[in-house]
Structure 1
Amino acid sequence: MAGFSRLVLVVIGLMAAAPAVAATAQELYQSQTIVTGQGEVNRQTGFKACLDAVLLRVSGDQRLPKKPEMAALRDKAGSFVAEFRYRDRLGGIPVHDEQGTHDRPHDLTCIYKPEVIDRVLASLGSKPWLGERPRLAAFLSVERGKKHFALTADDQGGEPMRESFVNAAGPLAMWIVFPQTSLLSASGLDDQTLRYADMVVLDHLARKTGADKALAGSIVWSDRELGWIADWRLETRGKTYSWQVRGVSFDEAFRVGMRGAAQVLSGNGLPD
């Protein structure tokens, strides 16, 4: 499919744009989950999770897994799979004690035929998102107690969050980078001013990082919520979209950020 010729896969964010890696249709129409062992029962559970994931990956619409029609589709999730494979996540580590291979965690990758998934999407009132996916630059402020900072590409302390953000982008076949500290400083921005910065300004800075669009966000730790409160903003087609999630881990906060961005950019409207 020509629309995928420049679709960029995930790379860990640096200021300079990394070489683009084209995603084939086969790479787009696949998904992955973690299962225990290779037994039939856990495989069927994995097929259900992979169906949810591939529908979101292909369409960009995070609302699909919540539709009531999904219950019946999950019951026959394996029938949609063209092929699957396992990867032992403990590969190279010998089986020990009473542990067998049925106890070991595996990555289960499911590969689907595009026409099959497209028909499932149509039955849900949706369609594939086949256009080139905009590359995103994350402009994120972080606050926990007295500690606050902007997440940048060159902040060593921010590595766990950057890695988590990249992991959130991967299942959506999207690409994300982070600005250098010097770029923010030269623009008069820090973690406090980022929260209110104009999206036009941030989109301009995003292009300097090699991205196409800015995803602006803030996450604040809340003892009351027992987790992070995350607010996200993204501008497209002359409109700024905002969404929020409360009381979650920062891993989930970044997943909500990326899924919301995919929903907006795919033309599926405001995130839940």
Structure 2
Amino acid sequence: MLRGELRNALAALLLLTAGLGHAGAADLYSVGTITSGTAPERRDIGFANCLRDVVVRVTGDTRLLNEKRLAEQARHAGDLIASYSFRDRMSGTPIHDEQGSYDRPHNLTCIFDQTKLDAFLKSFEREPWLKRPRLVAVIGIRDMKGAASMLASDSLAPRDKDMRTALISAADKLALPILLPSQQQLMLAGLALPASAKTDPARLGTLARMAGGERALVGTMVWNSKPAGWVAEWRIADAPPATRWGISGVGYDDAFRNAVSGAAQVLSGHEEP
């Protein structure tokens, strides 16, 4: 049983450390979404969703989602796409009743033309954000039972495994390299208890370097029963206090998406989240 637990811990650590290095320029322009079938009207909806995602992924600036010109271009998103492909998410599952390929869920992957997309971004006075620091996430948690803990790369609790997966997914969508410290690294840095939000930047910087990163994304997540959901607060350790952000009344998937999008906003130089 112990060997199985160790394998799980090592697998989680590898997921966090592999494949999340500095994103290559070509990788930034590839995004995916889920569509209800492959019909042209469904495909075009997917193209529009992919355009919105790739604009934020490439620039780190979520404020572009509010731009009228982006909404207009989304209706012609295919003009900026170099290639795309579909994969049936139910491949191998027989079609039942009158269901056809029209409404079966598919993964749509779009690769945008780098030259065309960059030209489109220039119309917003934006450029690709290529130099991305390797972040170490220092996250203190107080759960629904009132138990306090730190999210670590090698903790074996089932909830922590799910949280790590959610964090990786959020970071991957924005191509933001991210790591979690191990339990030992947290203890060596004096951060084994969730008081990280008040820890001085120097100590957090030391922990980030110890864990193989460059800067620290610091956060607290507290479960609130009324209304039910997580209350999360985030900051970049060495950034000005004005750049703190957060979200409340959400599941941890949304809390981590909020953490990563805010971090990208700050680190890409596009002011506060």
TM-score for the superposition, normalised by structure 2: 0.87
Q: Using the TM superposition, give the Cα deviation of residue 102 of structure 1 relative to its aligned residue in structure 2, in angstroms.
A: 2.1
Q: Deviations over 1:208-238 (max 9, x none)?
A: 11111111111112223432111001045x6
Change (3 A) 1:188 1:239: same
The answer as to 2:62 corresponding to 1:28 is: no
Moved more, 85-94 or 57-66: 85-94
| Larger helix fraction of residues | 2
d(CA) in 1 for partners of 2:102, 2:229: 34
Helix, strand or coil for the counterpart of 1:137? strand
Helix, strand or coil for the counterpart of 1:32? strand
Q: Using the TM superposition, give the Cα deviation of residue 46 of structure 1 relative to its aligned residue in structure 2, in angstroms.
A: 0.7
Helix, strand or coil for the counterpart of 2:68? coil
Asked if 2 retains the 8 angstrom alpha-carbon contact of 1:12 and 1:177, the reply is: no
Which residue of structure 1 lines up, in the alignment, with residue 232 of structure 2? 230
d(CA) in 2 for partners of 1:120, 1:198: 41
Write out aligned runs for 1:112-191 (5 A): 112-131=112-131, 133-145=132-144, 146-157=146-157, 158-191=160-193
Write out aligned runs for 1:63-142 (5 A): 63-131=63-131, 133-142=132-141
The answer as to 2:197 corresponding to 1:198 is: no
Q: Deviations over 1:143-201 (max 9, x none)?
A: 12322211111112200000000000111112211111122122222343222112221
Q: Using the TM superposition, give the Cα deviation of residue 22 of structure 1 relative to its aligned residue in structure 2, in angstroms.
A: 6.4
d(CA) in 1 for partners of 2:73, 2:184: 49
Asked if 2 retains the 8 angstrom alpha-carbon contact of 1:215 and 1:232, the reply is: yes
Q: Using the TM superposition, give the Cα deviation of residue 251 of structure 1 relative to its aligned residue in structure 2, in angstroms.
A: 0.6
Q: Using the TM superposition, give the Cα deviation of residue 97 of structure 1 relative to its aligned residue in structure 2, in angstroms.
A: 3.9
Asked if 1 retains the 8 angstrom alpha-carbon contact of 2:217 and 2:263, the reply is: yes
Write out aligned runs for 1:7-26 (5 A): 13=13, 18=18, 23-26=23-26
Change (3 A) 1:123 1:155: same
Q: Using the TM superposition, give the Cα deviation of residue 78 of structure 1 relative to its aligned residue in structure 2, in angstroms.
A: 2.0
d(CA) in 2 for partners of 1:16, 1:60: 21
- Equivalent AA in structure 1 for residue 109 of structure 2: T
Structure 2: gaps (5+ residues)? 1-10
Change (3 A) 1:106 1:202: same
Change (3 A) 1:72 1:262: same
Q: Using the TM superposition, give the Cα deviation of residue 21 of structure 1 relative to its aligned residue in structure 2, in angstroms.
A: 5.8
d(CA) in 1 for partners of 2:266, 2:155: 29
Which residue of structure 2 lines up, in the alignment, with residue 5 of structure 1? none
d(CA) in 2 for partners of 1:150, 1:229: 15
d(CA) in 1 for partners of 2:198, 2:118: 39
Change (3 A) 1:226 1:194: same
Asked if 2 retains the 8 angstrom alpha-carbon contact of 1:57 and 1:172, the reply is: yes
Q: Using the TM superposition, give the Cα deviation of residue 104 of structure 1 relative to its aligned residue in structure 2, in angstroms.
A: 1.9
- Equivalent AA in structure 2 for residue 41 of structure 1: E
Asked if 1 retains the 8 angstrom alpha-carbon contact of 2:37 and 2:105, the reply is: yes
Aligned-residue CA RMSD (Å): 2.2
Aligned length: 259
Q: Using the TM superposition, give the Cα deviation of residue 18 of structure 1 relative to its aligned residue in structure 2, in angstroms.
A: 4.6
Change (3 A) 1:30 1:212: same
Asked if 2 retains the 8 angstrom alpha-carbon contact of 1:17 and 1:211, the reply is: no
- Equivalent AA in structure 2 for residue 89 of structure 1: R
Change (3 A) 1:13 1:57: farther
Change (3 A) 1:176 1:21: closer
Q: Using the TM superposition, give the Cα deviation of residue 105 of structure 1 relative to its aligned residue in structure 2, in angstroms.
A: 1.4
